[in-house]
Amino acid sequence: MLFKTPLSSPRGPAVIDMLQSVSGIILALFMWAHMFMVSSILLGNDAMYWVTKMFEGEPIFGKGYPILVSLFALFILSLIVLHAFLAMRKFPATHRQYRTLHKHLGGIRHTDSYLWYVQVITGFALFFLASVHLYQLIMHPADIGPFASSDRVWSGRMWPLYLVLLFVVELHGGIGLYRVLVKWGWFMGKDPKVGRKRLTIAKWTLTLFFLVLGLLTLAAYMKVGYEHQDRAGERYQPAAYSHLNSASQGGNH
């Protein structure tokens, strides 16, 4: 049976717990895929241009449809709203609950309890930070590309938000996945103590990997944006595409 404990307990809270875990897993795995896509800028402008066109469906439809990015960003935003709504019931709500929590954290010094508190703080921050990013993508889906993204990061001064968002989302996603695996007893092996230790190492290794990749990626967008600031707004035109596309799209990116 996949979800061991909840199904035997009263249905309501179990279903909510499962929905929160499932939506969290999908969002965390999306963030890993997202970081690989966005870091294509490290392979050069043409690589990032290609990934952008792929997201717009060009390999399938012969031309790009930015609306597909809006729809997908809307789906991700809805999943975040569902996940946040389900998670909010676990936030300490009263002053007394906060006091008890701090006493608890101060008293037992249990790492997983601290991780839970990091989840509450990073989750709260994501309410605000992720919405800014997603709203822009939903409303301006065609403004993605080597120059368009770099101009937004540098001339559009989005880099401070991305810097904070990067740390917040990588911590939240990494800790979240770890807690889901421990909670449902996945990949724990025969000895839970050894299993938990192994998962902890895997969690911090992956979080560190994606933070380093994210920082290098952000630095790359800032560098391209800084060098392109006098021509901010001009769209990137890959040499290979220029003669192929101009006929079919009547414009460039």
Please state the separation of Cα 172 from the chain's center in Å.
9
198 binds ligand HEM (CB under 6 A): no
Beta carbon nearer to ligand HEM, 158 or 171: 158
162 binds ligand HEM (CB under 6 A): yes
**Judged by CB under 6 A, which of 50, 184, 221, 241 binds ligand HEM?**
221
CB distance 87 to 180 below 8 Å = no
CB of 77 to ligand HEM, least distance (A): 8
Beta carbon nearer to ligand HEM, 154 or 178: 154
Stretch that binds ligand HEM, among 12-20, 57-65, 72-80, 107-115 (CB under 6 A): 72-80
Please state the separation of Cα 197 from the chain's center in Å.
25
**Judged by CB under 6 A, which of 24, 218, 225, 237 binds ligand HEM?**
218
- Reading the block at residue 224, the tokens are 């391209």
137 binds ligand HEM (CB under 6 A): yes
* CA-closest candidate to residue 127, choices 168, 179, 178: 168
CB distance 43 to 102 below 8 Å = no
Beta carbon nearer to ligand HEM, 165 or 184: 165
171 binds ligand HEM (CB under 6 A): no
**Judged by CB under 6 A, which of 28, 87, 115, 169 binds ligand HEM?**
169
Measured between alpha carbons, how far is residue 13 from residues 3, 18, 20, 176, 180 in Å?
13, 9, 10, 18, 16
- CB burial of 209-243 (b: ≥16 within 10 Å; e: otherwise) equals ebbebbeebbebbbebbeebeeeeeebbbbeebee
Beta carbon nearer to ligand HEM, 15 or 208: 208
The number of residues that bind ligand HEM (CB under 6 A) is: 24
**Beta carbons within 8 Å of 186's beta carbon, 6+ residues apart:** 180
Amino acid at 250: G
Stretch that binds ligand HEM, among 60-68, 108-116, 129-137, 185-193 (CB under 6 A): 129-137
Beta carbon nearer to ligand HEM, 199 or 218: 218
**Beta carbons within 8 Å of 65's beta carbon, 6+ residues apart:** 56, 57
**Judged by CB under 6 A, which of 144, 171, 177, 182 binds ligand HEM?**
144
- Cβ neighbours, 10 Å, residue 130: 20
69 binds ligand HEM (CB under 6 A): yes
158 binds ligand HEM (CB under 6 A): yes
Beta carbon nearer to ligand HEM, 128 or 186: 128
The pattern of x and - marking residues 1 through 30 that bind ligand HEM according to CB under 6 A reads ------------------------------
